Chains A and B, each alone.
Chain A
Amino acid sequence: MFRRIVFAAVLGGLVAGGIASAVQAVRAVPLILQAEVYEEAAEAAKPHDPAASADHQHEADAWVPDDGWERTSFTVLFNVLAGIGFGLLIAAGMALSGRGGWKVGLGWGLAGYASFVLAPALGLPPELPGTESAPLIARQLWWVATAGATAAGLALILIRRGALAIALGLALLVLPHAVGAPQPAEHGGAAPVALAREFILIVLITGLIFWIALGAFTGAIYRRLATT
């Protein structure tokens, strides 16, 4: 069973990560590269603050992939790894529920998209490099809590059902947004607003493609492996 789950997740992750990488290379990565030009220009224009430059120095010392094929390869690699990771969650859910197939997988994929993309993006919209934001650790905690609460809420509503489960599930869906995501002291960024808006839209669309492909392929492969 473990091998079946892993096999379905690896294949689903490869397909979804590959498809998403192709779409992103055309639509999302160019926006990141454009934003970095603005970010570097803004950095260069800033008066030198010793604390900030120490921080920058630290970042500059670390290895960074070269622009071009090296950077692209790492993006593809991490897209696939994310696909395998999320695919493992989907295939594990299929094993627990005893149901596979591409249609069931599509449902898991859409639930994953709602939990890991839409709900966190409501409070923390996808950001281009150089965007003003609250401290990283606070945003990461809110992101994880929101994704977890949304996934648990959807599971209560769609799988557990029953009046109490649905009420509790709805509360879990709303709670992170009632608490609110950590926000920066002032909004803004180095890149123009139009670029930032386009990036949000592209991330939401590529995310949907990624999750649909991941759910459907993982589900289809998971079911096929039952007969072999």
Chain B
Amino acid sequence: MSTGQTLAAPSVALKAEAARGPALAAAFLGLVLVFGVGFAGPSVIHNAAHDARHIHAFPCH
């Protein structure tokens, strides 16, 4: 996590290496959220997210 910052001048490659795990985890979480908002099947979620889906141009109905 913060170990990279304690080094004097970590190379870009080193930083990217350390960031890979957390970045992929965050991206996965982001995809789960987007799918929940845009594609989740249950009627209750569909009805609650209805206007947001139309406005973000997700396929709806």
Q: Is the CB of B19 within 8 A of A129?
A: no
Residues of chain A within 8 A (CB-CB) of B38 are: 82
* A-B interface pairs (CB < 8 A), number: 147
Does any Cβ of B come within 8 Å of A28's Cβ? yes
Interface hit among A72-80, A156-164, A171-179: A72-80
Give B8-47 as 1s and 0s: 1 = Cβ < 8 Å from A's Cβ atoms.
0000100110111011111101111110111100011011
Q: Is the CB of A62 within 8 A of B47?
A: yes
Residues of chain A within 8 A (CB-CB) of B60 are: 127, 129, 136
- Residue numbers of A with Cβ under 8 A of B are 1-2, 5-6, 9, 20, 24, 28-29, 32, 58-59, 61-65, 71, 74-75, 77-79, 81-82, 84-89, 91-93, 95-98, 116-117, 120-121, 124-129, 133, 136, 139-140, 143-144, 203, 206-207, 210
Q: Could you tell me the distance between the alpha carbons of A121 and B55 in the complex, rounded to whole angstroms?
A: 12
Q: Is the CB of B59 within 8 A of A143?
A: yes
12 additional contacts, CB 8 Å, given A82-B37, A84-B30? A6-B29, A74-B52, A75-B52, A81-B36, A85-B34, A86-B34, A88-B30, A96-B19, A124-B59, A127-B61, A136-B60, A140-B39
Min CB gap B36→A, angstroms: 7
Main secondary structure of the interface of B (DSSP, over half): helix
Q: A2-B26, A74-B49, A78-B48 are in contact. Are A136 and B19 (CB under 8 A)?
A: no
Q: Is the CB of A84 within 8 A of B23?
A: no
Q: Is the CB of A98 within 8 A of B16?
A: yes
Min CB gap A18→B, angstroms: 13
Q: Could you tell me the distance between the alpha carbons of A78 and B33 in the complex, rounded to whole angstroms?
A: 10
